[in-house]
Structure 1
Amino acid sequence: MRSRSRTRTLTLIAAGVVAATFLGGAAAVAAPLIDNGWPYDHAVKADNAKTYTLAAVGDIACEPNDADNANNPAALKCGSPSLGGYDAEFATAKQALAMKPDAIALLGDEQYQVGKLSDFEASFEQAWGGLKFLARPAPGNHEYYSYTKKGDSETGQNGNGYFAYFNGHDQSGTPNATGQAGDDTADTQGWYSFDLGNWHIISLNAECNSAAFGNDCSTTGNGLLAQETRWLADDLENNHQQCTVAYWHQPAFSATTASTATVPASAPGAGGQEGGVTDAWWKLLYADRATLVLNGHEHAYARFQPMDPTGAVDTKKGIPEIIVGTGGEGLDSLAKNADGTFANPNVVTGYDQGYGVLKLTLTQHGYEFSYAPALKGAGQPASALDYTDSGSGDCRG
């Protein structure tokens, strides 16, 4: 039996019992057995092996147009014609529900603009609240950082609203120290892992340029991000599952930015300093022969070739990256060359005309994936709903 310090394990049992154990913390909680396979019956392959469904998406909920946000620009709030708004987040929530997922990987920026608890309650909760018990979230920059763009000026929450929403809080709104989003302490900021069938699933926090991380984005030394990186190394060392998927918010490799001042989109770190620190994570995952990396942040869908830590295509040991930033808040444009090809040559396919959720079917030795839009973006033609992407991959662990 594996030993993982500060690691959260989740076991989903098809017979109708859900048991969640927080190591070093609260006792397990089990739902009562009922006869309809709660929450969902598992699909079974021809060889009688159970499969599990993991839904994945990030960048979801618009900022509510309420009294708490009365002084913020209308263009950044729910109801703005340039954003997906409530229509989009309700559409993606409905799509995720139809997948009957065993768990939902939320890829950060669940709530805009700064993820206040009141914003989560007035927006994300309205569309996605019914799926909250299945959510396995990772935070994004909008849950940690200040937002001072486009005429707005809001103070960063350093994860307070995020943890208060997903982990619960006391009567004063102070987040619980542990819960569904992982530990919220001086030593841990929400990274955790769990098992689902034959899969090991890892949620990481890349929001290092925040007070909670001491504004320290170094993966070595004594800072919190360095501690997280060592935790990841230990977690992978103690992982005995054949299949591993990891997710965090800012991607290591970009699909919507042709280049930065110093880093090409196909090189690690193109997503800024947070994408840069994930270079260390990619090296660890690559050495562990991880199966898949999921990210958000870029408001589009993009699937990449399997890559080594330098961004070179490696079909034998490389890890595919899939960006799913189409949860509903808004859309970005994929970076393309003059001839229409993707600026990042490692992008296999991409979509930036609508909102949707990725469905992953986790099998004993691999996975199947499918993506289709649930709602087209503002001003997009009806044909925007025709896009689909699907396929399969093998585990290499």
Structure 2
Amino acid sequence: MPQRFRIALTVRRLAGAALIATLIAALAGCAAPPAPHGFRGAPLTVYAAGDIADCRYRMPESSGAAATAWLVEAGLAAHPGARVLTLGDHTYPVGTPAEFSDCYEPTWGRFRERTLPTPGNHEYYTPGAPGYYAYFGATAVPEQDGYYSVQLGKWHVISLNSTLRGARADAQLAWLKDDLARHPALCTLAFWHHPRYSSGGHAGNAFMAPLWQALADGGVDLALAGHDHDYERFAPQDAHGVRDDARGMRQFVVGTGGAWLTPMRFAADNSEARNNFSLGVLRLDLFDNGYTWEFLAVASETDPGVAAYTDRGATPCH
């Protein structure tokens, strides 16, 4: 691991054994704080990001994907049951099998067996996304256009393919409504590539409205997306994008998995936190009745003395 890549944590000036204990905890993968008041059960930890591996200008071992992979790998070592959610655009520029084998595999491929993926638009720049489906195999559910659901602890987790259009998109929507009806969990998470709402350069994606409506109607708590190469957290919103702290769905955009970062527009409605200057991953601790989040940033290569960006909080399921 090159020294210029390290976990970006702000460490207080502590002496002796206290300093050593702090550093060990950081290198062990940012151990979770005590459960927030009212949360139940041992949490299942998830690491999530999209827009990951681009080796056009750097070798894999010195790429942004290598830096974020080290964050994830450290977390997985500390939490053997933890999983990884990838939010699309795994490789650049066009998602070929060679990009997966030569750029993604040496970095995020190290934890492929613990990864639940979803495809992005760059995978489909090679028609049919053969690189993506060959690399992830049965996990990507190619026979069903890449959408599926699984159970992680008490959480129902849904992966959607936001690149589908026409009849194939209609089939996914019908499947989603049926899946939500058959799995009425207290806590549900959905993830895909194109965000419904975003302050990033691509802005929001109106074609996601039917899926967002179905997810909101189904009581989904948490939504993750990528596509814009930045980090953004939204307040809980209802089916029409109106803030609803009691019953709304919170969306995170986490397009900071290793590819170049991009400019942001003016803040979208209900945007609560934004950052487009730090690569990193989102850590979620999924309790039986709620979740905590923390953005884990890669340190700046050009100015490692600058305190790392972070964003953290907790929300109960509804």
TM-score, normalization by structure 2: 0.83
The answer to whether the 8 A contact 2:187-2:290 is kept is yes
The answer to whether the 8 A contact 2:298-2:308 is kept is no
1:255 aligned to 175, 199, 203, which one?
199
What residue number does 2:91 align with?
Answer: 111
Q: What are the equivalent positions in structure 2 for 1:300-379 lying under 5 Å apart? A: 300-336=230-266, 343-376=267-300
The answer to whether the 8 A contact 1:358-1:369 is kept is yes
Worse-matched range after superposition: 382-391 or 233-242: 382-391
What SS does the aligned partner of 2:184 have?
coil
Which of these two proteins has the greater Rg computed from alpha carbons? 1
Q: What are the equivalent positions in structure 2 for 1:249-288 lying under 5 Å apart? A: 249-257=193-201, 270=204, 275-288=205-218
Matched AA of 1:181: A
Matched AA of 2:312: S
Matched AA of 1:107: L
Cα offset, 1:384, TM superposition: 5.4
CA distance in 1 between partners of 2:245 and 2:305 (Å): 33
What SS does the aligned partner of 2:101 have?
helix
The answer to whether the 8 A contact 2:61-2:107 is kept is no
CA distance in 2 between partners of 1:49 and 1:373 (Å): 27
Residue 234 (structure 1) aligned with residue 186 (structure 2) = no
Cα offset, 1:383, TM superposition: 5.9
What residue number does 1:9 align with?
Answer: none
CA distance in 1 between partners of 2:90 and 2:40 (Å): 36
What residue number does 1:245 align with?
Answer: 189
> In the TM superposition, what whole-angstrom CA distance separates every residue of 1:263-321 from its partner, at most 9, and x where no partner exists?
xx5xxxx2xxxx32321111111111111000000000000111112222111211111
Residue 53 (structure 1) aligned with residue 45 (structure 2) = yes
What SS does the aligned partner of 1:246 have?
strand
What residue number does 2:229 align with?
Answer: 299
What residue number does 1:99 align with?
Answer: 75
Alignment length (residue pairs): 282
The answer to whether the 8 A contact 2:188-2:222 is kept is yes
Q: What are the equivalent positions in structure 2 for 1:124-273 lying under 5 Å apart? A: 124-145=104-125, 156-167=126-137, 179-182=138-141, 184-185=142-143, 188-208=144-164, 217-218=165-166, 223-257=167-201, 270=204
The answer to whether the 8 A contact 1:353-1:384 is kept is no
Hey, which of these two has a bigger chunk of helix by percent? 2
The answer to whether the 8 A contact 2:220-2:249 is kept is yes
Residue 78 (structure 1) aligned with residue 57 (structure 2) = yes
Cα offset, 1:382, TM superposition: 3.9
TM-score, normalization by structure 1: 0.67
> In the TM superposition, what whole-angstrom CA distance separates every residue of 1:58-85 from its partner, at most 9, and x where no partner exists?
00000x4xxxxxxxxxxxx1339xxx98
RMSD, matched Cα: 2.4
The answer to whether the 8 A contact 2:89-2:227 is kept is yes
Matched AA of 2:226: G
The answer to whether the 8 A contact 1:295-1:322 is kept is yes
What SS does the aligned partner of 2:133 have?
helix
Runs of 5+ in structure 2 lacking a partner? 1-31
What SS does the aligned partner of 1:229 have?
helix
CA distance in 1 between partners of 2:296 and 2:135 (Å): 29
1:388 aligned to 310, 315, 318, which one?
310
CA distance in 1 between partners of 2:175 and 2:247 (Å): 23
The answer to whether the 8 A contact 1:115-1:157 is kept is no
CA distance in 1 between partners of 2:187 and 2:251 (Å): 15
CA distance in 2 between partners of 1:117 and 1:375 (Å): 30
CA gap of 1:126–1:224, structure 2 versus 1, over 3 A, is same
Worse-matched range after superposition: 112-121 or 43-52: 43-52
The answer to whether the 8 A contact 1:116-1:157 is kept is no
Larger RCO: 1 or 2 (CA < 8 Å, sep 6+): 2
The answer to whether the 8 A contact 1:43-1:52 is kept is no
The answer to whether the 8 A contact 2:61-2:106 is kept is no
CA distance in 2 between partners of 1:295 and 1:163 (Å): 19
CA distance in 1 between partners of 2:218 and 2:289 (Å): 16
